[in-house]
Amino acid sequence: MDYREAVPADDDAIAALTTAAFGQPEEAELVAALARDGDVELSLVAVEGETVVGHILYSDLGVVVDGRPVRAVALAPVSVVPGRQGRGIGAALVRASLGLLRDRGIEAVVVLGHARYYPRFGFSAALAAKLEAPFAGDAFMALELRPGALAGHVGAVHYARAFGL
């Protein structure tokens, strides 16, 4: 398995993969809408030979903590082709992409996802709990790529338009 940034020629493969992974078209439509709106910060594919077997996308997220803008992104969606799940492709994509985001100066990442999956990468529901967001609970998690990036009392979060929140 290798990974690289997605290019427009990957669009159909990403749409098919995302629809297959989630068993419904909504997440693939979200990927397309985020791209249309110019809100994609990073889109990475996992490939085996010529075949796209995984995909992860991060979109721009408006975060202000105590009046201080934070360079942040939302992780969503991440997909691995059903026949290849559970073999570390998702974890490799998450780890590789977080490194790229850190290199680009992104300070924080939020995710709404499986509460047992994301903590292994350092995501924390406690860190996200103080953010004023459309989500709450164990599934809403945050990660600081720059230590202290979310330090403060009140943080407001605004998702890209395609989320429809």
Q: Which member of 63, 90, 107, 150 binds ligand COA (CB under 6 A)?
A: 90
Pairing mode of beta strands 108-112, 155-158 = unpaired
Residue whose beta carbon is closest to ligand COA: 90
Q: Where are the alpha helices (DSSP H) in the chain?
A: 11-22, 26-36, 89-103, 125-129
Stretches 31-39, 95-103, 112-120, 129-137: which one binds ligand COA (CB under 6 A)? 112-120
CB 16, min distance to ligand COA, A = 13
**Measured distance CA(39)–CA(79) in Å, rounded:** 19
Nearest to 141 by CA among 98, 97, 102, 110: 110
Site string for ligand COA, 8-47 (x = CB under 6 A): -------------xx-------------------------
| Interacting residues toward ligand COA by CB under 6 A | 21-22, 77-80, 85-91, 113-114, 116-117
